[in-house]
Amino acid sequence: MRRFYSFFLMLILLFFGRGVLGQTATTIPYFTGFENGLDGCWSTYVQSSNCEVAIYTSGTYVWSGSSADAYTGTHFLGLHNAVGGLFETTHAALHLDLAGESGLRFSFYLSEWNEEDHPQDGIYISDDGGTTYTEVFHYNGTQYTDLQYTHFDWSLDSINALYNLSFNSNYVIKVQQHDNFYFGGGNDGFLLDEVSVYEVCATASGQNVYLCGSGSYTVPSGDEIYTTPGSVTDTLMNSQGCDSVLYINLLQGNSSATMYEFSCTGSFTAPDGQILTTSGNYTITIPNAVGCDSVIDLWVIVGTPSGSHITVNSCGDYTAPDGQVYTSSGNYVAVIQNAIGCDSTIAIDLNITPNASGSETISSCGDFTWSDGNTYTTSGTYTQTLGASNGCDSIVTLDLTIDPELDVTIVSTDNVTLEGQGAVSYDWIDCATGNVVGTGTSFTATANGSYAAVGNDGPYCSDTSECFAVTTVGIDQAQFIAFEMYPNPTADEVYFEANANLIEVVVLAVDGREVLRSTETSLNVKGLAPATYLLEFTYEGDYKFTRRLIVE
């Protein structure tokens, strides 16, 4: 009987460092389904800490409805780039002592998840302990169906002959993967399961056996009886007279769970078929999927629906207990959860009294004092709530526009022509009589007196300036210089002569409007309508005076 290798139990999920070597080369026949971890005859390699070679449980990685699962049992060996990003390499290597052997086969199940074709992907063999490797099979992931295992069963003798390899105590078989993404995210990676190296005559297989409670298990040969979980082997003789090695995983079959249930029908049917009508804590025992007891700690709340009726009087609208907002009277139903979480149906007899409302639009200059007693200085929409005779609110809305207050002033450089400032339009009044004597931005007094500008800025804001005293009308400064204007009347040109330099002449209509301005000693008045005009002269030496011109 040939030697066999018993598993060294390890954690179900292992992360292996870069370049970690197996400690022991195993003899044949050899089999593993990775149900109890990675045996000591395996070594792993990851190019960086981003990569991962580990034992995974079926269902650990799920993506878009697809799950990475074992071929048989619940565990498989996975190789992938766990972080993702860079293209990097991982491998898992099986170390074998095959000195003096022949007639051997290598069997395994291999699957991929969305793999591309990379030159590094495949199966490699070394007969010098892993110093040099020969690629004996290139695994092109694009030629296989995602997450469907393919069974490979090769003659190692034929591979040795083809690649000039030989069986010895340093025989290594390596599965290598190269990619840049991970299970459940990209979804690159290899899945390896059910690996065996055996003689053509010999066989090897594995199975899971569940222990229920304090029960025991006797191996098929009858040699051993086991009462605790663990990994055991049993050797029988097959039909060809060779060893048939059975690898057995003894697992604990009993299970337990805690359930929290809720029922609003007045009863709850427990997993064992009991009908429970009272809230409380129950212990339920039923057979599980492997035939052992499953003990369930059941916490159940049993309740029933409830109902009530309310009458509501509300102003404007009403928010029901279920959050629904109603604005009209009527009969309504609200369903909410009661104190124990069951439906509570509330019948609502609702009477809605409308809130009174009104609005006003005001434009004011500077500020506005409303009926609520508040003085507002900025434009906006304001509301006040008043009590109504029906007990509901009366809401009044103010749409307010505030225009800036005006500050109208008068400036003058000659004590005759007045300029208004601080408004858009102006009326000029005689302060003694209050009569309007002119309009426009400027006003030229034709008689001494006090004048004021009434400035306006739209229809709401106005301001009256301080009165301005005009005292120089009638003082003819032309007497201080030799001045002559001719011809007058005229329909064409008018000329000015003086013994001083002319600064400018301004032609004004009788209403004070400026119609022409010049610095020349003559004016062409052909474009002016026939009328009497006032000419304001300014000469060097600050000589200012006016003359009337008749245009025909």
As a whole number, mean pLDDT of residues 348-354 equals 87
pLDDT for residue 331: 93
Measured distance CA(208)–CA(468) in Å, rounded? 116
pLDDT exceeds cutoff 60 at 19:
no
pLDDT at 405 over 90: no
Grouping H, G, I as helix, E, B as strand and the rest as coil, residue 54 is strand
**How is residue 258 written in tokens?**
């805690």
Q: What pLDDT does 475 receive? A: 57
Report the DSSP pairing between strands 30-32 and 275-276: unpaired
Report for 91-95, 287-291, 428-432: range of highest mean pLDDT: 91-95
Choice between 159 and 206, residue whose per-residue pLDDT is larger: 159
**Residues 338, 321 contacting (CB under 8 angstroms):** no
3-state DSSP of 273-312:
CCEECCCEEEEEEEECCCCCEEEEEEEEEECCCEEEEEEE
First to last CA, the chain: 146
* Whole-structure pTM value: 0.40
In angstroms, the CA 189 to CA 67 distance is 13
Q: Which among 413, 483, 414, 468 is positioned nearest to 438, based on CA atoms?
A: 468
**258 beta partners:** 297
Instruction: Look at 353 and 389; give whichever has higher pLDDT.
Output: 353
Q: Are 150 and 111 in contact (CB under 8 A)?
A: yes
Q: Is the pLDDT of residue 443 over 60?
A: yes
Query: Which pLDDT score, from 0 to 100, does residue 239 have?
Result: 57
Q: Once rounded to an integer, what is the mean pLDDT over residues 281-294?
A: 82
Better-scored residue on pLDDT, 119 or 367: 119
Q: Could you give the percent of the chain with pLDDT greater than 70? A: 89
Q: What is the pLDDT of residue 294?
A: 79
Decide: helix, strand or coil at residue 422: coil
CA 89 to chain centre: 35
pLDDT at 11 over 50: no
Are the CB atoms for 18 and 45 separated by under 8 Å?
A: yes
| Structure-block tokens of residue 517 | 């301005």
Q: What does the domain layout of the chain look like in residue ranges?
A: 30-199, 206-252, 256-302, 307-352, 357-403, 409-476, 479-551
Amino acid at 327: T
**Which residues fall within 8 angstroms of residue 475, CB to CB, at 6 or more apart?**
545
Q: What is the pLDDT of residue 3?
A: 32
- pLDDT at residue 387, as a whole number: 66
- How is domain 479-551 classified at the CATH fold level? Immunoglobulin-like (2.60.40)
Identify the pLDDT of residue 536: 87
DSSP class per residue in 196-214: EEEESS-EEEEEEEEE-TT
> Percent of the chain scored above 90 by pLDDT?
35
DSSP conformation class of 447: S
Task: Write out the two tokens for 289.
Answer: 């999927």
Return the bridge partners of 192, or none.
Answer: 77, 110
- Specify the range with the lowest mean pLDDT, choosing from 223-232, 237-246, 362-371: 237-246
- Is CATH 2.60.120.200 the right assignment for the domain spanning 30-199? yes
Contact criterion met (CB below 8 Å) for 284 and 294: no
